[in-house]
Structure 1
Amino acid sequence: MQSDVVTEESPKIQEARLWRDNGWTARVIKNEDDDGWAVAMVKDGEPEPALVGPWTMGRDKKNPKPLDSTAFSTLVKTASEFVRRHEQQLHASLHQSIVVTVAQGSGLSARVTVRLDIVPDEDNPYATLSAKDDGDALLAELRVAPSFKLNRASALAWVESDFAKPATR
């Protein structure tokens, strides 16, 4: 689908197959997979649609139902939630955290929070592995491969090794 990049200064449009308002553009398009219609939601400034979904046929069963204020509001809400969930999933995959309990002398134990923060740079991706105590004091920090798998076992092994650089696989 061809999409013009829209900026904040873009004029408000309210047409049967094209609505633009509140930072979003809804465009009703022919569904390439069948005889139906789809609607593409594009956030201003983005080159690609954030969401593409089926669109209802009109009464004549040939043309799409026209966009209206209620439909556009619903589409904006749905597309915004979709973008927000995607951003949350991306953040969660790039910033992981696990709390482990390690034994100390005299039968005492300590809780350590181990974090993996991935920097997905196109040319030189890397990750930072860090450990903090319950008082949020930094115990250790080092650079690891972005493919490092943080799980309870790897976090505990790193803490118990006195924060030695983990072996690469």
Structure 2
Amino acid sequence: MSDTEMQEDAELIQEARVWQAEGWTARVIKNDDDDGWAVAMYKDGEAEPALVGPWTMGRDKKNPKPLDHNAFNTLVKTATEFVRRHEQQLHASLNKNLILSHEDTDYKICLQIIPDEEGASAFLSAYNMFDEQIAKVKVRPDFKLTQASALSWIQKDFARLSSD
């Protein structure tokens, strides 16, 4: 372990209600919904927790069970998987594609929605069978990519769509 890594480890909090390591912080908090406790998992640099879940009561049935190395590792694994699934779901909702044939040619048609606080934008792209982009047009963020809409765009020689 390098001097830098040892110094970073020394600065991490590893207490009964707060535990830091591996880019995560677990905080045991009072559960607002009942008399129990919850644990919030924060990814380093994020203000909001990535995951909040119930936490076990201690033996006195009043205070929370203290965090430890094994519990923290389980929480990190769970939070990491939760974040990964959320990112995959978001990516899938913003990027759609389909493959179809027209006049003996296969095309991959892709819709990419780019979220923005000022207003989302979206692009429709066409690729040939060699995965070379052959067309790209801006469309409305609420554009519905279907077999019919893709075929219509192909039949119009990838013309700019009037709905954008």
The TM-score normalised by the length of structure 2 is 0.88
Q: How does 1:74-153 map to 2 (within 5 A)?
A: 74-102=74-102, 104=103, 109-153=104-148
Q: Quick check: which one's helix share is greater?
A: 2
Q: Number of residues paired by the alignment?
A: 156
Distance 1:156 1:70 in 2: 54
Deviations 1:26-85 (A, max 9, x none): 000010010111000001100000000000111111111111111000001111111111
Question: In the alignment, residue 85 of structure 2 is paired with which amino acid?
Answer: R
Q: How does 1:21-32 map to 2 (within 5 A)?
A: 21-32=21-32
Q: Superposition RMSD on alpha carbons, in Å?
A: 1.7
| Distance of aligned partners of 1:14 and 1:137 in 2 relative to their CA distance in 1, 3 Å threshold | closer
Distance 1:16 1:124 in 2: 44
Q: Is the 8 A contact 2:23 2:43 kept in 1?
A: yes
Q: Runs of 4 or more off by more than 4 Å in structure 1?
A: none
Distance 1:81 1:70 in 2: 17
The TM-score normalised by the length of structure 1 is 0.86
Distance 2:39 2:26 in 1: 6
Structure 1 stretch 31-40 or stretch 157-166: which is displaced more? Answer: 157-166
Q: How does 1:41-60 map to 2 (within 5 A)?
A: 41-60=41-60
Distance 1:33 1:122 in 2: 32
